[in-house]
Amino acid sequence: MTSELNRMTIAEARDGLARRDFSAIELTRACLEQIKLVDPKINAFITVCAHEALEQAAAADRRLAAGDAPALCGIPLAIKDIYATRGVRTTCASKMLENFVPPFDATVIARLREAGAVFIGKANMDEFAMGSSTENSAFGATRNPHNVERVPGGSSGGSAAAVAADECLGALGTDTGGSIRLPAAFCGVAGIKPTYSRVSRYGVIAYASSLDQVGPFAKTVRDAAILLRTLAGHDPHDSTCSARPVPDYEAALTGDVRGMRIGVPKEYFGAGMEPQVETAIRAALASYERLGATLVEISLPHTEYAIAAYYIVATAEASANLARYDGIRYGLRVEADNTGELYNRTRAAGFGAEVKRRIMLGAFVLSAGYYDAYYLKGQKVRTLIRGDFDRAFARCDVIATPVAPTTAFKIGEKMADPLQMYLSDIFTISVNLAGLPGLSIPCGFDSDGLPIGLQLIGAPFAEETILRAGDAFERTGAITRRAAIL
Amino acid sequence: MSDNAYEAIIGLEVHTHLMTRSKLFCGCSAGFGAGPNENVCPVCMGMPGVLPVLNRHAVELAIRAGLAAHCEIAPESIFDRKSYFYPDLPKGYQISQYELPLCKGGYIELPAHSEGAEPRRIRLTRIHMEEDAGKNIHESGASLVDFNRSGVPLVEIVSEPDIRSADEAGAYLRELRSILRYIEASDGKMEEGGLRCDVNVSVRKRGAAEFGVKTEIKNLNSFRFVEKAIEHEVARQIDILEAGGRIAQETHLWDPVREVTRPMRSKEFANDYRYFPEPDLPPLRVPPDLVEAIKTAMPELPADQRARFVRELGLTAYEAAVLTQDRDLGAYFETMLAAGLKNHRTAANWVMTEVLRVVNEAARPLADAAPLAIESGELLKLVETGAISLNAAKTAFAAMCKSGKGADATVAELGLAQVSDEGAIAAACDQVIAAEAAKVAEYRGGRDKLFGFFVGQVMKAMGGKGNPKVVNEILKRKLSG
């Protein structure tokens, strides 16, 4: 029995802990044992925090015994290594921060601590969240638990893989262009990127500040709703964070989607999509019709410009955000005779190829004489894309699309061709540019047994609507969660 | 060839610290004088993942500065990132304002520099907010960085190229500093880095329509250096033009030891700052009622106080200008008048000579160096009523500066009260007349010049305390009688 605890959902574990069927220590041990067993094969973690996790679990047990259990008391979570965790090294999967131990907690980390969560470890990712496959990590690639020859998606691939492999009950990721939704789809778990500003970014190592957003991975939509409720809400440390009250997302999961208008954008079903992906998405849409929802064809005409706009805006912001890694105050330093050379050597040695590529691209689009042609135009495209969604949401409540045109690709397959890699995010990037919430849920498997993801996009702050839609689909039981093939 | 054939075109960029308790984007103390890296936190150290939160008080002070300089306050302004690598710049970019600053336009009116001269208006381009960087320290072969100053709020006040001489630049800076101190936006202490100045200088033939090529001079941290650097740079540029040369558009550094400017190596300054809007801060929206509230609470500005001193107190423009150079000085003067002084100009001159002297000699702030203003007023009141002489007042003042005692107590202690009692003075006069019979005869014979001698003798007899006016009257009467 105890050995199976790590396979539970958060909702199940919460009830079991409350009934004292098992202890938080037992639950945490089960996860740590699973990590010992499977992580050598998938490399989902950069740092496993066994000692700290067991201490947190012991504290959770004391609170459970005292009848003072907060929302996530004793629930073991994996934390993407992009979150500042006080006293625990936070690398962002970069050599630059290989030994960086933050003196402070990110706001969401502090909230999870308060909610009694147990941090089982720091999850692998693409360096500085730049990538779609979790191959760009200074600590080695993460592998897909469904097939270790395949990528888990990125950049939050470690978090998604850890959830899929039952190494934890839920996880934190971040999503700048699809970095939660793509790995959720590739690994067959639920992942939500909330509305921009819904969750504080304080202490989340910045990649592209106007696009980055915090979100959870979970085994079910309900678990994602439970986690999101703790994460969301105003933070005085983040001036871009919304002060809107946080609803009880779990209460929104009524299972009822009758009358819900589901928009299907024609631009998202075209060339480049694997037929098995389209089949699975069409089948999911048919399920919604059976549940009483109606399908509406919509158009998002500026979709084709999204990737170009994204790689201008995101890299511009990244070029400034990553300027602080200079070897002066913390992180890697490669000594030199003068300061300029120290910067050059430190940054040459500390950053990986993809990070360098994006810094150079960003510096270029911001440089004198090019700003209007690139950065300003990128921002204009962003406004147009937002307008597309505004018009669409006048006609529908949720937009349903595939998460990606393909299932998980092979390790190494796209590393030599960055543009092919960038196209993995073609269906997810617009959502970031428009600041909207997007949920990824498993909706089928291809003939190789690789998961296929359905993306449900909502209007700003309509997380309840997309979670309700996702949960309703999950309840049909069409997709039973397949244990990862480990 | 005289330099007079040329005119200088000068614009100033002044950076000044705003007097907030905490830094611009975090809660750290903005105070001066802490040990190295004591006033720092993850935010102002540029740790990974941190975010800025704008200090409301800093915005209010910047608006106050804008209103004092007659600027238009933008209902919406934005912060931008200015990127460059330097060890004292923790994030690799400075949060500043570029395209949409908080304050636009406006002007600074310079007080008339001499009687009868017209006041000059120097137009402003803008005032924007930004954060300061830390400080590099090079010591015993090592380079160290102190981040206490990193994130301290600054405003940059940019003038139009309206300034025409080194003197005028000095006058502009003094007036600007005075305004900033009056409104308590900045203490304007250059020596603590609280006020720094970059200068743009070009020269052109008088009457020419086009501006010449300008150079920028950095590293100016005293008003005197600004004036000297401008003088040096203007002369240098004229020399080059006269020799048939061309001015290179470049940045110069002021070398305060050799008192020359020298061009910076091109590596010493970045030329592409890659500005873009700061995504971590929403646009700064200033509601009209906030501007109104700040306007209503605005203290009297130096120009207004100056005008009032001339209009209501009968001071000359020059006297008014000196007294309003510093808010404390103007306040000192007004407090003195509260003692009930009738002769405002005597009081003004007292402040300009006696008070300013002790302040300069002590090289300490007015409040430390001089007696309480109300005691200075009481002292002058004693002069006005004839209780003491002006000279005795000066003696008393010097003593008060040291002892900190009041006017009445000091005058009594030093026995400075003068004798105005006619009986006592008449007796002294009689005594002198009796003793100097020969000289009296000479005087009465027409040697008027001897009058001074008799006054001296009477004063001597009275131990110097006779009221000179009364002594004169009685002595004249008795000698002629």
Contacts with B276 from chain A: Cβ below 8 Å: 316-317, 320, 366, 371, 375
Q: Are A49 and A79 in contact (CB under 8 A)?
A: no
Interface test with A, best of B44, B86, B137, B276 (most A CBs within 10 A): B276
Half-sphere exposure at residue B11, Cβ-oriented, CA atoms within 13 angstroms: 20
Contacts with A210 from chain B: Cβ below 8 Å: 279
Structure-block tokens of residue A230: 């703790």
Sign of CA dihedral A53, A57, A58, A60: positive
Return d(Cα B97, Cα B131) in angstroms, integer: 10
3-state secondary structure B168-217: HHHHHHHHHHHHHHHCCCCCCCHHHCCEEEEEEEEEEECCCCCCCCCEEE
Which residues on adjacent β-strands are paired with residue B198?
B13
pLDDT at A476: 93
A36 is catalytic: no
pLDDT at B391: 84
A179 is catalytic: yes
Mode of pairing for the β-strands spanning B120-131 and B80-83: unpaired
Structure-block tokens of residue A211: 């696009």
The residue assigned the tokens 């006269």 is B242
Is B275 in contact with A319 (Cβ distance < 8 A)? no
Give the nearest chain A residue to B147 (CA atoms).
A329
pTM for the whole structure? 0.91
Return d(Cα A335, Cα A332) in angstroms, integer: 10
Q: Is B33 exposed, middle or buried (0-12, 13-18, 19+ CB in 10 A)?
A: exposed
B422-480: CATH number: 1.10.10.410
pLDDT at B479: 85
| Helices within B251-362 (DSSP H only) | 288-296, 302-313, 317-323, 327-337, 344-350, 356-362
Contacts with A208 from chain B: Cβ below 8 Å: 279
Q: Is residue A17 part of a domain?
A: yes
Is A330 in contact with B47 (Cβ distance < 8 A)? yes
Q: Are A370 and A308 in contact (CB under 8 A)?
A: no
A95 is catalytic: no
Phi, psi of A162 (to 5 degrees): -65, -40
pLDDT at B1: 43
- Chains A & B: contacts with CB separation below 8 Å: 104
Ranges under pLDDT 50 in chain A? 1-2
Is B45 in contact with A323 (Cβ distance < 8 A)? no
Q: Which of A205, A236, A368 sits opposite B49 (nearest CB)?
A: A205
Q: Which of B46, B87, B280 sits opposite A240 (nearest CB)?
A: B280
pLDDT in tens, chain B (481 residues): 456 899 999 999 999 999 999 999 999 999 988 999 999 999 999 999 999 999 999 999 999 999 999 999 999 999 999 999 999 999 999 999 999 999 999 999 998 766 666 778 999 999 999 999 999 998 888 889 999 999 999 999 999 999 999 999 999 999 999 999 999 999 877 666 678 899 999 999 998 989 999 999 987 888 899 999 999 999 999 999 999 999 988 899 888 888 888 888 665 555 799 999 999 999 999 999 999 999 999 999 999 999 999 999 999 988 998 999 888 899 999 999 998 999 999 999 999 999 999 888 888 888 887 888 888 899 999 988 888 888 889 989 989 988 888 888 888 888 888 787 888 888 888 889 988 888 888 888 888 888 989 888 888 888 778 888 888 889 888 888 6
Return d(Cα A360, Cα A321) in angstroms, integer: 13
Return d(Cα B305, Cα A310) in angstroms, integer: 56
Q: What is the dihedral of CA A446, A447, A448, A450, to 10 degrees?
A: 20
pLDDT at B363: 81
Structure-block tokens of residue A234: 């105003």
Q: Is residue A238 part of a domain?
A: yes
Return d(Cα B381, Cα B337) in angstroms, integer: 9
The boundaries of the domain holding residue A250 are 2-259
Q: Which of B47, B267, B276 sits opposite A316 (nearest CB)?
A: B276
Return d(Cα A199, Cα A231) in angstroms, integer: 6
Is A84 in contact with B45 (Cβ distance < 8 A)? no
Structure-block tokens of residue A227: 């986690």
DSSP-based three-state secondary structure for B276: strand
Q: Is residue A343 part of a domain?
A: no
Return d(Cα B313, Cα B324) in angstroms, integer: 14
How many distinct structural domains can be found in chain A? 1
Q: Which of B49, B81, B281 sits opposite A320 (nearest CB)?
A: B81
Return d(Cα B94, Cα B101) in angstroms, integer: 15
Q: Is residue A486 part of a domain?
A: no
Question: Could you tell me where in chain B the CATH 1.10.10.410 domains are found?
Answer: 422-480
DSSP A268: G
Return d(Cα B66, Cα B286) in angstroms, integer: 13
Contacts with A236 from chain B: Cβ below 8 Å: 53
pLDDT at B113: 65
CATH, residue A247: 3.90.1300.10
Is B272 in contact with A326 (Cβ distance < 8 A)? no
Structure-block tokens of residue B395: 């003696």
Catalytic residue among A23, A132, A137, A155: A155
Q: Are A64 and A17 in contact (CB under 8 A)?
A: yes
Q: Is residue A82 part of a domain?
A: yes
Shortest CA gap A330–chain B (Å): 8
Shortest CA gap A366–chain B (Å): 5
* Total H helices, total E strands in chain B: 17, 17
Task: List residues of chain B with CB under 8 Å from any CB of chain A.
Answer: 42, 45-54, 81, 83, 85, 87, 90-93, 143, 145, 267, 272, 274-276, 279-282
Is A339 in contact with B87 (Cβ distance < 8 A)? yes
